[in-house]
Amino acid sequence: MTVCKIPFMTVAVPTTLDDAVRLLAEQPDAMLLAGGTDAMVEINDGHRRPDNLVIALNRVGDLRAWRHDTKRRTLTIGAGVTYTELMQEPIGRLAPALAEASRTVGSPQIRNAGTLGGNLGTCSPAGDGLPVLSALDAQVRIVSATGERTASVHDVMVGVKRTSLEPGELIAEIVLPVLDGWQGYAKVGVRNAMVIAIASACLVVDAESRHISIALGSVGPTVVRCPDAEQQLAAAVDWAASSVPPEALDEFAGLASSASRPITDHRSTADYRRHAVGVLGKRLARRAFTTEGGRT
Amino acid sequence: MTHEFFTLRVNGTDHEVADSWLGESLLDVLRDRIGLMGSKGACTQGECGSCSVMVDEVLVCSCLVMGASAVDQEIITIEGVAPIGSPSDVQQAFVDAGAVQCGFCTPGLVMAVHDLLERTETPTETEIREELAGNVCRCTGYGRIIDAVERVSVQRRATSQKESS
Amino acid sequence: MSVVEDTRTDIRPGTIGDSPARPDGIEKVQGNYAFSSDLSADGCLFGATLRSPHPYARIVSIDLSAAWKISGVEAIITADDVPGKLTYGLISQDQPVFAADVVRYVGEPIAAVAALDPETARRALDAIVVEYDVRSPLLDPEAAIAGSHEPIHPDGNLIRHQRIVHGDPSATGDVVVEGTYEIGMQDQAFLGLEAAIAYPDPGADGIELHVATQWLHEDQGQIAACLGFPDDKVRLVLGGVGGAFGAREDISLQVHTCLLALRLGRPVRMAYSRAESFLGHVHRHPATIWMRHHADAEGTLINVEARFVFDGGAYASTSSAVLVNGITMAQGPYACPNGRVDGYAVRTNHLPCGAMRGFGAVQACFAYESQMDKLADACGLGPEEIRLHNAMRTGDTLFTGQAVMNVAPVEECIRETAALPLPDEPVGGAPLDDGSPDAMKLPGGAGRTADARDIVRGIGWGVSIKNLMYSETFDDYSTARCRLTDGVATLKFATAEVGQGFITIAGQIARTVLGVDDVVLDQIDTGVGSAGSTSASRQTWMSGGAVDAACRAARERLFEAVGAAHGLEPIRLMIDGTDVIDTAGDLRVPVSEASAGLEIDETVEYHHPETEDLDENGQGNCHTAFAFVAHRAVVDVDPELGLVKVIQIATAQDVGNALNPLSVIGQIEGGIAQGLGLAVMEEIIQIDGVIRNGNFTDYLLPTFLDMPPVLATLIEQPDPHAPLGAKGVGEPPCISSTPAVVAAIRDALRQAGIEKPLDRVPVRPTDICL
C-alpha cells in the first residue's frame, strides 16, 4: 500500500480489502474514492474538499472480482468492477440489463473508470445502474472493521445522494440473481450520447416464478418500484405463450407513470418524466413479450 | 510506507511530485507539476475527453483521476505516443485528413483513437462514433476525424496483409 | 470516404486550390502546440476574478481586509485601481472594467486578485466580503422596450431601435401566414478556455500580453485606453487559440491580467474554468421574432412584415450590429418588393450577448425559413418549390434598397442540394449480425428507448443569405507584410488563427503569387497593422486579399529586379510554376535564383469598398458582400418520446473559389454541427437571471453520435468583387442548417398525423410529444 501525506490530507492506495477496511476504521469519515467519476467532478468544481483521508479503492483486487455461483444461481460483482467490465462476456450475458445500462454510461473513458459500487455509493436519483439493481432486488454486502452485513439494495438507497451506510462502512459486493427470463433497460436523454438520465427504466421478467419487476430512475428521490404495475402485467401475461394483450401494455404504462414521483428541474419537467417512464415501461414490456394479434 | 511526496510513472519516466495539493486531478499534476502540457482541460467534468490519457492500458479522463491515487500505474499521455517530429500513423492521418482545426480536442482524440484501434482493428463508422462519443470537438463536426480513423484502419490492414504475404 | 473529390490535376502542390496540410498540424497532434492556457513564465503569479452572484444589485461595500491577510496574496484590485478609462466595449464603451456601484448581471467582475498559486487566489476571492442591496432585475425585453422599468444603465434600456420600410409596406397578398418564433441563447463553447499571460515592461509604462483572441488591434486599443497608455505601449501576441466562434471578440480577462501585472511588476497568468467561461464571454442573442408573409396564390412573395426583439443582456457589446444583420436580411435569400421591419436590441439583466457565428442572421433565418414552409403549405407547394420560385438573383434588392451585386446562386444551391442522394438505409438501419436492431441507428442511441416501428423520418429545408465583412461604414481593413529573399517568402500579419486555417491559405497564396515553395509565417502580433477581426466570414477575403496584395507588390519588386538584370520591361514577366519567365522571350529563371540576395519587403493594407449607414427607414447600402447556402436535413423522430436523430445533412454552398477545399469542408461540417446544436440541444438556461447550466454536463454539445454524415457540394462561381474570387465560408453552414433540422422534425410528425408548430429552438422533447 502506498500512502502520501501532507499536513491536511492523506491519500492512501490500499491493495487489499482488509487494508482498506482498517484505514476506514481509523478514520470513519474518510472519503472513499472508486472511479472518481462522481467524486472528482465535485472536487474539481470546488463543491467538495477532502480534508483528511482519501482512500483510493481502485487497486483493491478483492473489489474488482466477480463470480457466478451456478448452484445458487447468483452473480456476485465486486464494488470496484467497472462499467466496461460489466459489458463484457460472460457478465454481460448473465446480467444483460446491467450490460445495457452500462453501455449508456457516458463514454469509454467514463465506463473504464466508473464502478457499480461507486454508482450505488453516490446514490444519485439518476444513477444508471440503480434501476437494474432495484429490479433484480440486489443484495449488498457491506463491510467494516467490526464485521459485515448484507442489506437489500432498497434499504441501502435511502434518498437523494443518501445511502444507509454508516461511517466506517464500505460496499464490498453486490449480489444479483441470475434469472430465467427477459430483462432490459432503457434511458432517456436529450442527446444521443453522454447524458444524465431524464428518465430510465429496467424491466425484469422471472419466467420461473412468473414475476415481473419494473424499476424507474430519475422520477423520485431514489429509484422507484411499481408494485401495482408489476402485479397487473404479471396477471395479464399468458405465460405459456409468453404473450400479452396490447391493452395490457397501455394499462401497464399508465400504472408505471402513476407510481413515479418526478420533479421539474433544469433538465426536464415532471410532466415529461411521468410520460416518458410510461412509454419506456410499455416498450420494454413489448420487447419482453409478444403481443397477441401477431405483432411483436 | 508514508511519504510527503508521491511518484508517478509517466511515459516510462518516474516523476516525484512534492508540492501538490493532494486533491488535484491527474490532469492538474501532469500540467502544473510535471510540465506535460499536451493533455488539455476544457470541462473538468469528464464530459469532453480533452484530458484523455492511458492508465494501465485503459483510456480514462485524467481530470477524473486523483493524481495522488495514480501511483504504481503506467500512465501514457499524448507526449508518450510518438517522439516529437515522428508522428504516429494516427497523428499523421489526422493532419492529412483535415481532422485538426483549433487542435484543442486533438490530443485527447489521438489517445482515444489509438485505444479504439487497439481494441477494434476495423471499426465501422457507427462503432467509431460510439467509441469516440466521449471526445467532443467544437470545430470539425467530426466528419474529417472519422475519415482519419478509417484511413489508419485501411493502411494498417494493407500493411499487415503485405507482411503476411 | 472523403467527400472532397479533386478532379483537377494541374494544381501545384501547396498552392491555391490544393489542400495542403496546415502548418501547425504536427504540433497540434503531438500535443506540443502552445495554446494560451499552456503559456507560463518563471515567477509568474496567478490571477482570479470575483464575480457578482446577483443579476442586479447596488454594491454597498467591498471589504478586502480578510483576503489581504491570506499568505500568498500579492495584489487585489477593484474599480478604484483602473488608471485609464473605466469602461470598455466594441461599439459603445458601456461596460465597466470592474463594477463599482452596481452589478448588472450574474458574473459581472467586481475585483481581481493575484496570488502565488491558483488555489490561494481562489481562497482570496472567497474571503472578499461584498455587501449588496439586491434589486429586482429587468428580465423582460418588452418591459425594456415599453420603458416600464427604471434604466438599469445610464445609457438606457434600449440599445438600438431600427426600422426598415421598403416599397409599399401596406401591400397585401391572397395568401398570408404569420408566426412568432423564439431563439434561445446559444453559447460558442469553444474548447480552449480563456487564458492570458501579461509581461509588464520594466518601467511599468508598457506591457506585452499573450492572449487567445479574435482581433489583436481592437483588444490593444481597448486595453490601452483602460490602462491609460498610448496604443503602442500595449503589445499583443496571439497565444494559440482553441476556437472562438465570436466569443473572443469582446474583452474578457485582458485588462484584468494587465492591471495585475503592472501593479506587481511581475508576469501574471489568468485562466478561466468552464463555469467561469460561461460567465466571462458574450453569447448569442436570444430573440423573439414575429413575421407575417404575404404572397399571391402562386407563392410569389409580395410583402414581409417583421418585428425583431434581441435581448442584449447587461451590456451593449455588438448588439447594435447584430440587430442590423438580423433585420436587413429578414426577407431571406428571396426577392420581395415590399417590406416593413421593426427591430429592437434591448438591455436586460441577463448575461451580455454579442458575436456568435452567424451574428443575427441565425435568428432571422429560423424565423423566415419557418415562414417559407408555412407559405408553401398555404400555396400547395413543396418546400423546394416555394424557395426556387422566390430565389434571389444577382441584382435583386434587400429591403434596405441595396442591390446584391455578388454572385447569388440561390437556385443552384437549392438544386445542387436536392441532387445529393438521400440516405439509402431505412429507419433503424440494417440489423446487426445476430439479427437484433442496431440501437445506435435510432433516436435514443444506447438508451434503447425505441424500436424502428416507433420512428418516423422527415425531410426539411433551409436556405440562407449571410453578409460578409463588417457593415454600416465600418472600414474593417486588413494588413499584411511580405518579405522575399533567397526563394523564401516570409509573411507577417495580425490575422487571428482560431483554427479555421487562415495560416494554411496564407502560404498557399504566397506560393501561387510568388512561385516559392518555402513560406515562413512570422509571429502573429501587433507588430504589423490590423487585420480586423476573425469573424463575419471575412478573413479569406480581407486578410487573404491583404496577403495577396502584399505578395503581388513583392512580385513587382522581383520583376523590376529581374527586368533590370536582363534588360527587359517588367511588364513582360510573369510567374510560371516556380520560375520567372519572359512572356515574349526565352528567359526562365527560378524564383529562388531571381530573388537571391534581394531584400524585398512590402506591407499593404487591403480595404473593401465603402458602405453606408441606414437612414431612419433602414435604407442604405450598409453591407459589403453576401454569400448563400442551402441545407436539407433528414431526421428520424420518435413522436411519443420526442427524441430525434439527425440522419443526414446535405448542402450546397456558394463559396466562390475554394482556396483549400479540405478546409472549406471542415468549416461546412463544423458549422453544421453548431446549427444542429441550436436546433435540438444547445441553450443557456437562465432562471430569474441566474444561469443554471454553466457546465458541459448540462449545456449539451453535439457528440460523434449526434452529428450525421454531411454531403456537401461546393458551388464555385468566383465572385468578381472578391480579391481571390473566394467568399467567406465560416458562417453560412450554421445558419440555415438549424431551420432545416426543425423542418424535418415537423415533416416527420406530420407523417405520424401530428401537427406541432415547433416555433422555438432548441426544440425540446416536450415540444414534440406533449
**Could you say which of A126, A153, A177 is where a domain stops?**
A177
B118 and B70 fall within a common domain: no
Q: Do A159 and A240 share a domain, yes or no?
A: no
Touching subunits for chain B (3+ Cβ pairs under 8 A): A, C
Number of domains in chain B: 2
Is residue A196 situated within a structural domain?
Answer: yes
For residues C636 and C639, give the distance between their C-alpha atoms in angstroms, rounded to a whole number: 9
* Statement to judge: residues A79 and A158 lie in one domain: yes
CA distance B142 to chain C (A): 6
Shared-domain flag, residues B98 and B146: yes
Question: Which of A45, A194, A267 lies at the smallest CB-CB distance from C703?
Answer: A194
Residues B107 and B60 grouped into a single domain: no
Q: Which of A38, A192, A216, A284 to mutate to test the interface with C (most CBs of C within 10 A)?
A: A192
- CB B127: neighbour CB atoms within 10 A? 15
Task: Mark whether B149 and B120 lie in a shared domain.
Answer: yes
Start-end of H helices in C45-192: 65-68, 118-127, 141-146
Q: Does one domain contain both A120 and A214?
A: no
What is the domain-level CATH number for residue B50? 3.10.20.30
What pLDDT is stored for residue A295 in this prediction? Answer: 46
Answer yes or no: do B45 and B111 share one domain.
no
β-strand partners of A215? A202, A225
pLDDT of residue C435: 81
B57 pLDDT band, cuts 50/70/90, is very high
Last residue within a domain, chosen from B80, B112, B134 = B80
**What is the CATH classification number for the domain harbouring A140?**
3.30.465.10
Per-residue pLDDT reduced to its tens digit, C187-231: 999 999 999 999 999 999 999 999 999 999 999 999 999 999 999
Domain boundary among A177, A192, A218: A177
In this structure, the answer to whether residues B93 and B41 fall within a common structural domain is no
- C-alpha cell read off for C411: 437556385
- Residue A61 within a domain: no
**Which chain B residues are Cβ-neighbours of C119 within 8 angstroms?**
21
Average pLDDT over residues C295-314: 98
ipTM exceeds 0.90, yes or no: yes
Contacts of C240 in chain B (CB under 8 A): 103
pLDDT score for A7: 66
The count of CB pairs under 8 A between chains A and B is 120
∠ CA(C241), CA(A110), CA(C762), 5° rounding? 60
pLDDT confidence tier of residue B1, bands split at 50, 70 and 90: low
Chain B partners of C424 at a C-beta cutoff of 8 Å? Answer: none
In angstroms, rounded to a whole number, what is the distance separating the alpha carbons of residues C140 and A257?
A: 36
Whether residue A87 is contained in a domain is answered as yes
- What average pLDDT does the segment C357-365 reach? 98
Mutate to test the interface with B, among C30, C672, C681, C729 (most CBs of B within 10 A): C30
> What per-residue confidence (pLDDT) applies to C22?
98
> Do A233 and A276 share a domain, yes or no?
yes
Tell me how close the Cα of A219 comes to any Cα of chain C, in angstroms: 16
Is A202 found in the same domain as A228? yes
What's the grid cell of residue C240?
494559440
- Does B103 share its domain with B131? yes
- Report CB contact under 8 Å: A56, B60: no
Residue B165 lies in a domain: no
Stronger pLDDT, C611 or A190, i.e. the higher one: C611
Domain-located, residue B74: yes
CA distance C641 to chain A (A): 6
pLDDT band at C8 (very low <50, low <70, confident <90, very high): low
Cα gap C14→C763, rounded to integer Å? 43
Distance CA B67, CA A119 (A): 21
Q: Is B131's CB within 8 Å of A43's CB? A: no
Q: Which residues fall within 8 angstroms of residue C65, CB to CB, at 6 or more apart? A: none
Pick from A191, A196, A296 the residue to mutate for testing the C interface (most C CBs within 10 Å). Answer: A191
Pair (B93, B75) in one structural domain? no
B76 and B97 inside one domain: no
Start-to-end C-alpha separation, chain B: 54
Q: Starting at the edge strand that comes first in sequence, how are the strands of the sheet with C45-51 ordered? A: C73-77, C109-115, C45-51, C268-271, C195-200, C207-211, C234-238
Task: Assess if residue A296 is contained within a domain.
Answer: no
Nearest-CA distance B164 → chain A (Å):
30
Q: Which domain holds residue B152?
A: 89-160
Query: Which domain CATH number covers A236?
Result: 3.30.390.50
In the structure grid, which three cell numbers stand for residue C342, read together? Answer: 421593426
Provide the pLDDT confidence category of residue C3 given band limits of 50, 70 and 90.
Answer: very low
Chain B segment 113-142 residues within 8 A of C by beta carbon are 125-126, 128-130, 132-133, 135-142
For residue C32, what is the nearest residue in chain B, using CA coordinates?
B38
Closest-CA distance of chain A to residue B87, Å = 23
Out of B3, B63, B134, the one facing A40 most closely (by C-beta) is B63
Residue C2: predicted pLDDT: 37
Mark which of B50, B80, B110 sits at the end of a domain.
B80
Same domain, A159 and A212: no
Q: How many angstroms separate the most distant Cα atoms in chain B?
A: 56
Q: What is the pLDDT of residues C525-536, one digit of tens each?
A: 999 999 999 999
Is residue A130 domain-resident? Answer: yes
Q: How many interface pairs between B and C have CB atoms less than 8 angstroms apart?
A: 182
Say yes or no for a CB contact (<8 Å) between A113 and B61.
yes
Q: Do A117 and A171 fall into the same domain? A: yes
Evaluate if residue C17 carries a pLDDT over 90. yes
Look at the block and give the residue holding cell 396477471. A235
What average pLDDT score do residues C586-590 get? Answer: 97
Number of independent structural domains in chain A: 3
pLDDT at B110: 98
Q: Which of B64, B69, B131 shows the shortest C-beta gap to A108?
A: B131
The answer to the question of residue A166 being in a domain is yes
- Other beta carbons within 10 angstroms of residue A255's beta carbon come to 20
Tell me the sheet residues that pair with A205. Answer: A212
| Whether residues A150 and A205 fall in one domain | no
Tell me the pLDDT of chain C averaged across its residues. Answer: 97
- Measured between beta carbons, which residues in chain C are less than 8 angstroms from residue A269? 766
Minimum CA–CA partner of C770 in chain A: A272
Indicate if A188 and A281 belong to the same structural domain.
yes
Q: Which of B142, B146, B153 to mutate to test the interface with C (most CBs of C within 10 A)?
A: B142
Interface of A with C (CB under 8 A): 41, 45-46, 100, 103-104, 184-198, 200, 266-269, 271-272, 275-276, 279-280, 283, 286-287
Q: Which residues of A touch C686 (CB under 8 A)?
A: none
- Say which DSSP state C215 is in: B
Name which residue leads in pLDDT, A1 or C352: C352
Residues of B in contact with A51 (CB under 8 A): none
Give the tens place of pLDDT for each residue, C65-86: 999 999 999 999 999 999 999 9
Show residues of chain C in contact with B139, CB under 8 Å: 243, 499, 666, 670
**pLDDT value at C433 more than 90:** no
- Min Cα separation A266/chain B (Å): 18
Q: B13 and B65 in one domain? A: yes
Specify if A3 maps to a domain.
no
Q: For position C658, what pLDDT does the model report? A: 98
Mutate to test the interface with C, among B31, B138, B154 (most CBs of C within 10 A): B138
- Cβ atoms of C539 and C531 within 8 Å: the answer is yes
Using CA atoms, how far residue C393 sits from A207, C55, C389, C403, C405, in Å, is 68, 47, 11, 10, 9
The residue from B46, B80, B114 where one domain ends is B80
- Neighbours of A, requiring at least 3 CB pairs below 8 Å, are B, C
Contacts of C485 (CB under 8 A, 6+ apart): C595, C597, C598, C599, C600
Nearest to A193 among C695, C705, C769 (CB): C705
C-alpha dihedral over C71, C75, C76, C78, to 10 degrees?
Answer: 180
Question: SS3 of A14, please?
Answer: coil
CATH number of the domain to which A45 belongs: 3.30.43.10
Mean pLDDT over C735-744 rounds to 98
The answer to the question of residue A28 being in a domain is yes
- List chain A residues with pLDDT less than 50: 294-296
The rounded distance, in Å, linking the Cα atoms of C411 and C118 is: 56
Interface of B with A (CB under 8 A): 1-6, 21-23, 25, 44-47, 49, 52, 58-61, 63-66, 68-69, 71-72, 112, 115-116, 130-131, 133-135
> With contacts defined as CB-CB under 8 Å, which chain C residues touch A93?
none
For A247, counting Cβ atoms within 10 Å of its Cβ (0-12 exposed, 13-18 middle, 19+ buried), the class is exposed
C21, C500, C696 ranked by CB distance to B45: nearest: C696
Domain of A209, in residue numbers: 183-291
- The strand pairing partners of C269, in sequence order, are C46, C197
Domains of chain C (ranges; CATH) run 25-33+476-606 (3.30.365.10), 36-135+193-241+248-280 (3.90.1170.50), 397-471+624-769 (3.30.365.10)
| Residue of C191, C276, C357 best to disrupt the B interface, most CBs of B under 10 A | C191
CATH code: domain of residue B116: 1.10.150.120
Q: How many CA atoms lie within 13 A of C584 on its CB side?
A: 8
Report chain A residues whose CB lies below 8 A from the CB of C706: 191-193
Q: What is the mean pLDDT of residues C348-373?
A: 98
Question: How close C436 comes to chain A (CA, Å)?
Answer: 11
Chain A CB contacts of B31 below 8 Å: none
